[in-house]
Amino acid sequence: MKVLHIEAGRFLYGGAQQVAWLTQGLARRSVQNVLVCPEDGEIQNAVAEGTVIHAIPMRGDLDLGLITRLTTIIRAESPDIVHIHSRRGADIFGGLAARLAGVPCVLSRRVDNPEPRWLAPLKYRLYQRVVVISEAIGRVLVSCGVTPNAISAVRSAVDATSYDLPADAAWFQQEFSLPKDEVTLGVVAQLIPRKGHRYLLQVLPDLLAKYPNLNVLIFGQGPLQSELAEAVARPEYCGRVQMVGFRDDLRRVMPNLYAVVHPAEKEGLGVALLQASACGVPVIAAAAGGIPEIVLHDRNGFTFEVGDVDTLRQHIDRLLSDQALRERLGAQGRELAHSAFSIDAMVEGNLSVYQSLLNP
């Protein structure tokens, strides 16, 4: 089998990392990989050895010339399947190119925002299958008019082994200027409204007063940076809530957290929550989008209804007051990350989709 992957992302974040792992897993199963990516795409250095790479101009939704460039490559490579992994023009233009070349096409969808009902049925006819990273995203597409039989769910993976590291309290406390008796919660998300930081900020003053050793680190970048920084500087947060920006060493940071809190209003899946589980760190998250598919209530964390700040407060309070509960949820989360959310499970899921198209 030969699969041609199209990934338009320039950086090795989220979806692009999943594509790199997918090529590695497919190569171990004797599948040939071809990658089409931007000229400066970091993914070129992360895909499986032996992957044929076509680094081409990919300028986004208005780059009509991309159709011709992709069609030429698809015809030259003659793959069995074209798998489109990203948007930025690659989704529609890649689908059209595969159609022109006469090759079956699969599209991965990683976000849960709805599309116009007049557009979605037309757009998704370009693909023989749509791979969604959560059942929740699949339900959104069906509500937009996409045929349910065209949708397959394959959850994103986490490299559980690389996150399963011991805590390093001395380094952690020095790195973030924390006291030796600290108990620290983390929020790992873009600083945008739908990630729900405001809900956590509502409940923190009472919790900070009740637990003098409680600290909170807010990781990430985004347009709410200034607003959130101004908010946490207020007296009710006692100087124990820090904005720490983007970190590329989360696998070292996360094992030191007591829990990860994620009060998002919308979420396709939430890879950072998988990473927390791989580290043995419990998760407290809103039951938004695909989150309940990876945060199993009272197994690797707790969930609550979006915006329910009273229940959010109760879950945090319960976890902070019960170390044994924290350890149980953490251990079960680590087990889940190594089984249900492994790279092998993700690779096998995608391979099954390919085989169902080639051998119906």
92-136 residue pLDDT tens: 999 999 999 999 999 999 988 888 988 898 999 999 999 999 999
| pLDDT above 90 (res 190) | yes
Question: Pick the residue with more confidence: 192 or 11?
Answer: 192
Whichever domain contains 37, its CATH number is 3.40.50.2000
| pLDDT above 90 (res 360) | no
Task: Give residue-wise pLDDT tens across range 23-53.
Answer: 999 999 999 999 999 999 999 999 999 999 9
Same domain flag for 48 and 152 = yes
Same domain flag for 96 and 175 = no
Cα separation, 271 vs 133, whole angstroms: 10
Cα separation, 238 vs 83, whole angstroms: 50
Q: In a 3-state reduction of DSSP, which class is residue 125? A: helix
Q: Give the torsion through C-alpha atoms of 297, 301, 307, 312, to 10 deg.
A: 110
Mean pLDDT to the nearest integer, 215-238: 97
Same domain flag for 325 and 183 = yes
- Helix 309-320 and helix 197-210: axis angle, to 10°? 40
Q: Which two tokens stand for residue 323?
A: 């170390």
Longest dimension (CA), the chain: 66
Task: Give residue-wise pLDDT tens across range 302-327.
Answer: 999 999 999 999 999 999 999 999 99
Cα separation, 284 vs 278, whole angstroms: 15
Domain ranges, residue 219: 160-339
CB 22 within 8 A of CB 347: yes
Same domain flag for 59 and 128 = yes
Mean pLDDT to the nearest integer, 128-146: 95
Q: How many CB atoms lie within 10 A of CB 274?
A: 26
Same domain flag for 295 and 217 = yes
Q: How many domains does the chain have?
A: 2
Which stretch of DSSP H or E encloses residue 84?
strand 81-84
Same domain flag for 279 and 326 = yes
Same domain flag for 223 and 95 = no
Cα separation, 142 vs 147, whole angstroms: 6
Give 159's DSSP letter. Answer: -
Burial string for 193-220 (b: 16+ CB within 10 Å, else e) reads eebbbbbbbebbeebbeeeeebbbbbbb
CA 186, chain centre distance (Å)? 17
Q: Which two tokens stand for residue 302?
A: 């707790």
Cα separation, 115 vs 123, whole angstroms: 10
Burial string for 62-83 (b: 16+ CB within 10 Å, else e) reads ebeebbebbbebbeebebebbb
Same domain flag for 145 and 43 = yes
pLDDT at residue 270, as a whole number: 86
- Phi-psi region at 289: left, alpha or beta (left = phi > 0; alpha = psi -120 to 50): left
Same domain flag for 131 and 207 = no
pLDDT at residue 83, as a whole number: 98
Q: What is the mean pLDDT of the chain?
A: 95
Same domain flag for 164 and 111 = no
Cα separation, 65 vs 262, whole angstroms: 41
